[in-house]
């Protein structure tokens, strides 16, 4: 399967006050619509993800996946959440139609900074407007409407995907029946803001960034690779890094007494950075990283109160987090669940014990499946 592209020729007003005169969205669907056209699950991807969430691509092209999930899956072309989407899986395509939509600002088929500005005939680059999670979801809603979908059984995703899932539930309360945010948060913590800022500054400090106006054949690969290395560490946990690498040397019996990659963990991070720059765009990383940092449900919808924001959403919630995730810690998910309870909403919250850190939402598919399947069955009862 390969993504479809839906082209919108009407303008989209953005939260920052600017306007996209037109835009494209890449998407894939799995399973069939019910006669009532309301059995849809929206699977939302993380920062460097794409619309290819399940199955295999027709061209064998590798899917965009964050962290350990990519390395452990090891199958080119397999969707980033393939273990969760399909017949009998957590998101059972015998019962639901699953749709995954590539976000605005990305470089994986939807309109972003590498797209052509129809007003100038030139690439947007950093003239592309800042987009928010709210903008992404409003664009997705236009696609959902264009496809004739009349209701959403559930929204779900991890990390940035969980933020989109929550935005869906709060922004369109009469349209979304349930929401399953995983390893996510109602707003990025100050520590998360700091790591995000380091990644952006690594890109912008690369001389080849050129203010965002770099040619295709000379992008700021060094800065983007460092940003990916920093980001990748935040997806792991100290336990998983220690278990996977320890202090083992990389093909050496002693130190090189140089600045080469002596340790396995150093070599691994360089490999992750080098691999990432072959499939992702530096400007898109900047834009999506900024969207992460701006997301704040309480400020956007509750005048500073998260419970007031969640009172807008009548959906039932299953909030999942992982014990070793220090980027989106369980405390954030528990605070979200408590805000839903304070608002009188229906919520179940589970902290899954895992050593995989933030990447557990891609790795611990089996342990999530039973929880999600049981939750969705209760919603359909």
Q: Left (φ > 0), alpha (ψ -120 to 50) or beta: where does 88 sit? A: left
User: In the structure encoding, which two tokens stand for residue 26, read together?
Assistant: 């890449």
Helix then strand count (H, E) for the chain reads 13, 12
| pLDDT 10s digits, 274-286 | 999 999 999 999 9
Rounded to whole angstroms, how far apart are CA atoms 27 and 24?
A: 10
CB atoms under 10 Å from CB of 194, counted, come to 11
CB atoms under 10 Å from CB of 169, counted, come to 30
Q: Are strands 4-8 and 23-30 parallel, antiparallel or unpaired?
A: antiparallel
Estimate the crossing angle of helix 190-204 against helix 282-294, to 10 degrees. Answer: 160
Kindly compute the dihedral angle of the four CA atoms of residues 145, 102, 23, 57, in this order, to the nearest 10 degrees. Answer: -100
- What is the C-alpha end-to-end distance of the chain, expressed in Å? 32
Which residue carries 């399909």 as its tokens?
A: 86
Whether residue 290 contacts residue 321, with contact meaning beta carbons closer than 8 Å, is answered with no
Structural domains of the chain, with CATH: 4-188+296-380 (3.40.50.1820), 193-285 (1.10.1740.110)
349 CB burial (10 A radius; 0-12, 13-18, 19+): middle
| pLDDT 10s digits, 54-111 | 987 654 333 333 332 333 333 448 999 999 999 999 999 999 999 999 999 999 999 9
The closest of 27, 275, 290 to 143, measured between CA atoms, is: 27
Rounded to whole angstroms, how far apart are CA atoms 101 and 145?
A: 13
pLDDT of residue 165: 98
Any idea which residues carry the catalytic annotation? 159, 325, 358
| pLDDT 10s digits, 160-187 | 999 999 999 999 999 999 999 999 999 9
| pLDDT 10s digits, 310-336 | 999 999 999 999 999 999 999 999 999
Q: Which of 287-316 are b and which e, b meaning 16 or more Cβ less than 10 Å from the residue's Cβ?
A: bbbbbbbbbbbbebbbeebbbbbbbbbebb
Q: What is the largest CA-CA distance in the chain?
A: 68
Whether residue 277 contacts residue 228, with contact meaning beta carbons closer than 8 Å, is answered with yes
| pLDDT 10s digits, 13-45 | 999 999 999 999 999 999 999 999 999 999 999
């Amino acid at each position: 399967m390969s993504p479809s592209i839906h082209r919108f020729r009407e303008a989209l007003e953005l939260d920052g006050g600017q306007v996209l005169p037109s835009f494209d969205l890449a998407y894939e669907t799995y399973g069939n619509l019910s006669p009532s056209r309301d059995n849809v699950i929206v699977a939302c991807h993380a920062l460097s993800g794409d619309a290819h969430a399940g199955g295999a691509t027709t061209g064998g092209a590798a899917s965009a996946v964050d962290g350990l999930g990519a390395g452990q899956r090891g199958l080119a072309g397999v969707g980033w959440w393939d273990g969760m989407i399909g017949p009998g899986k957590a998101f059972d395509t015998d019962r639901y139609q699953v749709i995954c939509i590539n976000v605005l600002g990305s470089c994986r088929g939807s309109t972003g900074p590498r797209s052509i500005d129809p007003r100038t005939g030139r690439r947007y680059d950093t003239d592309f407007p800042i987009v928010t999670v709210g903008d992404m979801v409003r664009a997705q809603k236009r696609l959902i409407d264009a496809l004739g979908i009349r209701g959403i059984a559930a929204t779900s995703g991890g990390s940035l995907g969980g933020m989109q899932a929550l935005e869906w539930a709060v922004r369109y309360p009469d349209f979304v029946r349930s929401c399953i945010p995983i390893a996510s948060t109602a707003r990025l913590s100050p520590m998360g803001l700091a790591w995000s800022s380091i990644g952006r500054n690594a890109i912008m400090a690369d001389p080849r960034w050129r203010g965002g106006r770099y040619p295709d054949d000379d992008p700021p690969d060094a800065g983007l690779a460092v940003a990916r290395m920093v980001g990748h560490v935040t997806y792991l946990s100290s336990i998983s890094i220690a278990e996977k690498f320890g202090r083992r040397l990389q093909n050496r019996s002693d130190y090189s007494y140089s600045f080469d990659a002596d340790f396995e963990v150093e070599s691994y991070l360089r490999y992750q950075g080098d691999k990432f720059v072959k499939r992702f765009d530096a400007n898109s990383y900047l834009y999506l990283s900024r969207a992460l940092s701006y997301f704040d449900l309480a400020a956007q919808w509750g005048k500073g109160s998260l419970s007031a924001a969640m009172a807008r959403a009548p959906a039932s919630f299953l909030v999942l987090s992982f014990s070793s995730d220090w980027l989106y810690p369980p405390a954030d998910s528990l605070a979200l669940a408590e805000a839903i309870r304070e608002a009188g909403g229906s919520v179940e919250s589970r902290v899954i014990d895992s050593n995989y850190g933030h990447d557990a939402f891609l790795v611990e598919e089996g342990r999530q499946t039973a929880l999600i399947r049981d939750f969705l069955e209760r919603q359909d009862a």
